[in-house]
Amino acid sequence: MDAGVNRLRTQVGAALFAKVAGPDGPAVRRRIHFSAGERWFEQGRPIRRVHADASMFVGGLRALLLQSLHPLAMAAVAAHSGYKGDPWGRLQRTSEFLATTTFGTDHDAQQMIDRIRAVHARVSGIAPDGRPYAASDPHLLRWVHIAEIDSFLRAFQRYGSSTLDADERDAYVADTARVAEALGVIDPPRTEAELVDQLAAYRPELGGTKAAREAARFILLQAPVPLAARPPYAVLTAASVSLLPRWARWPLRLPYLPLAEATIVRLAGDSVVRGIRWAMPAPA
């Protein structure tokens, strides 16, 4: 029985890891985690705890939904990211960025930052409402950053293997500011209170565009997920929606079902995240 369970665990973990990290995932993982050299973040830092946890599956989906509410950020994604044609490739690139900047050597982290900044420098255009956008715009970069870390933090607090106390939550936000500044974000939040304030300050700029609603439908209903993975993926998407603030629901035409979200969705989400954590234990 133990051998069968271990074999199942290995098979499920390998399949999940292949989707998240791509065909070169094992080699990339070895380089990130086991190369000799100084790191931006020491063992035990909150950013390492959060970004190594299976709750990132929920946080990542929530981040995509929340980020889409900025019309200029969404215009850049719709025109340049290719998320519909290559969603797994986009996930794999994002996963490698987060892993490298969180766990990689100083050298590898800086190389990754330089690569992303070079990509951002080439991404610009005109949004459907006539306004220009540029991926290198510090204001847009900060929106993407705060939507992301708010999502990761909330998902960890709800579905993580542990929770962070108030000081640790501040430390997590401060840790992520190190990466944000390297990417070109000006004045990223360094405490949870600053994160809340900056999110509120963006509210007047946000709205549900046609592109944002199309992205939400794709993420929640049309993503090319293997048949066997569709039920757990549906649970992850429901969990991600349940963590969105109420004001973010209607612009994306998403329901607000507080009773179901507090009971059925939470229990199911916890079960799926625990299953992912069992199949994909964090590197030692």
* 23-57 per-position pLDDT tens digit: 888 898 999 999 999 999 999 999 999 999 999 99
Residue 175 has a pLDDT of: 98
In a domain, 258, yes or no: yes
pLDDT exceeds cutoff 80 at 147:
yes
Mean pLDDT for the stretch of residues 1-18: 75
Residue 284 has a pLDDT of: 53
Number of domains in the chain: 1
Q: Is the dihedral of CA 86, 140, 254, 212 positive or negative?
A: negative
In a domain, 102, yes or no: yes
Parent domain of 117: 2-279
In a domain, 259, yes or no: yes
- Model pLDDT for residues 263-283, shown as the tens digit of each residue: 999 999 999 999 999 988 776
- Model pLDDT for residues 174-232, shown as the tens digit of each residue: 999 999 999 999 999 999 999 999 999 999 999 999 999 999 999 999 989 889 889 99
Comparing 4 with 218, which gets the higher pLDDT? 218
- Model pLDDT for residues 86-114, shown as the tens digit of each residue: 888 888 899 999 999 999 999 999 999 99
Dist. CA 13–CA 275, nearest whole Å: 10
In a domain, 284, yes or no: no
pLDDT exceeds cutoff 70 at 1:
no
Q: Could you give the count of Cα atoms lying within 13 Å of 91 in the half-sphere of its Cβ?
A: 23
Dist. CA 238–CA 235, nearest whole Å: 5
In a domain, 28, yes or no: yes
**Mean of pLDDT over the chain:** 93
Alpha helices in the chain (DSSP H): 2-21, 25-34, 46-51, 56-67, 71-80, 87-103, 106-121, 138-159, 166-183, 192-202, 210-217, 230-242, 258-260, 266-279
**DSSP per-residue string spanning 71-94:** HHHHHHHHHHT-TTT-HHHHHHHH
In a domain, 18, yes or no: yes
